[in-house]
Structure 1
């Protein structure tokens, strides 16, 4: 695995490392090197050398630094002499770039390849609102996709005529950083679909979800009954969908309506009155417990995992705790 060293002036690297872990989960072979106000170039260089030595494999290393021409850049640039064929450095670090680097390590084993890829991600992550302020923006060519574009005649069969579900997730926040980056990278959907009667009626929330889609992936918000129709529509046969549900109740309604889901990823369920905290991310009330029991009776597997890198949590233990604290 390619080692990653994050270096910055001050504790920026520590903060962005923590944020990356929140989104993508804890990562091996990653080190942070902070240049503090009381320290000099030699201190930073020593930290980087120590970080390199801590890696199991020092052949492929990617350095992510905050500022071109700053001390972290200068010191690492010196250390790279003689390793240019294997090591790589990218300046102007932002969170999107770091998360993309984590994702790239799942399928790339060369620091040069990851560096070349994440430069574009770092640039694409720079946005401004209102968009009229971005005077340098150029019209980008649409990415190639097997997704239907425009009106497709009813009855048309695309692919094998059956929509593919790469992930179905229960998450109170629906589409957010962990989904837009870690889960999208891991499952490679062509479309993200938030399935919710409530959100489908809320123009603002609907717009926010549609705008939060990662590059190259479409996002839609649909009511549950429409999702049941989409499941049976052969025009979506070439679609790889990541489904998002706010609640287990919405997921159950969709499955009972015919949506072919055999596994649900339980990401987060927010705490509210009448619910008990079961894990850091999951709170349940009596109706939630009954709903999950019904889902399991229907043969649906519940997998508890916030991000792909996390180990699966014991759902039986979570249910047992919820029942005990709720007195069920």
Structure 2
């Protein structure tokens, strides 16, 4: 089973996980971390790195999909530094630009998709979940 790790600014990661639980129920192997004003970015990098290693082990080697909120933001950069330091030591992928449709897709596919399949599904579901209401209902 692929594990999920959400890393964002503030409460977003926790809120996305909470909203997914509200819609789908509890999902195993999901962790979330937020970066808050005054937090040490190196400490976040260490937290992310430790979480990736732990979750990859708990996944039985199936891997970890990390979802971050903003390309170039501190949570993304902390994740990138973690990936760099870990190298090929663990099986992990990262997508930035997380939204609720992406989290729902990820949480629903962890038990039957490979890490690569899950990554690709999220890369589709995230943008597909962004629509103009008036275009959708044709007014």
Question: How does the TM-score come out when normalised to structure 1?
Answer: 0.38
1:69 pairs with 72, 78, 81, which one? 72
1:109-157 Cα shifts (integer Å, max 9, x gaps): x32221111111001100112229xxxxxxxxxxxxxxxxxxxxxxxxx
CA distance in 2, matches of 1:8, 1:87: 17
What does 1:238-277 correspond to in 2, within 5 Å?
Answer: none
Q: Is the 8 A contact 1:97 1:118 kept in 2?
A: yes
Residue 84 and residue 128 in structure 1: after superposition, are their counterparts in 2 closer, same or farther (change >3 A)?
farther
Give the deviation of 1:3 after TM superposition: 1.1
CA distance in 1, matches of 2:50, 2:77: 17
CA distance in 2, matches of 1:84, 1:47: 16
Give the deviation of 1:85 after TM superposition: 8.1
Give the deviation of 1:34 after TM superposition: 0.7
What does 1:57-96 correspond to in 2, within 5 Å?
Answer: 57=59, 59=61, 60-81=63-84, 82-83=87-88, 86-96=91-101
What is the SS of the residue equivalent to 1:102? Answer: helix
- What's 1:102 paired with? 107
1:127 pairs with 126, 131, 137, which one? 131
Residue 45 (str. 1) matches residue 45 (str. 2): yes
What is the SS of the residue equivalent to 1:69? Answer: coil
Gaps of 5+ in 1: 133-210, 212-328
**Bigger relative contact order (CA 8 A; separation at least 6):** 2
Give the deviation of 1:83 after TM superposition: 3.0
CA distance in 2, matches of 1:88, 1:67: 15
Q: Is the 8 A contact 1:87 1:112 kept in 2?
A: no
What does 1:311-322 correspond to in 2, within 5 Å?
Answer: none
> RMSD of aligned C-alpha atoms?
2.1
What is the SS of the residue equivalent to 2:88? Answer: coil
Greater Rg by CA: 1
Gaps of 5+ in 2: none
- Equivalent pairs counted in the alignment come to 132
What does 1:300-311 correspond to in 2, within 5 Å?
Answer: none
CA distance in 2, matches of 1:52, 1:118: 19
Question: How does the TM-score come out when normalised to structure 2?
Answer: 0.85
Q: Is the 8 A contact 2:49 2:79 kept in 1?
A: no
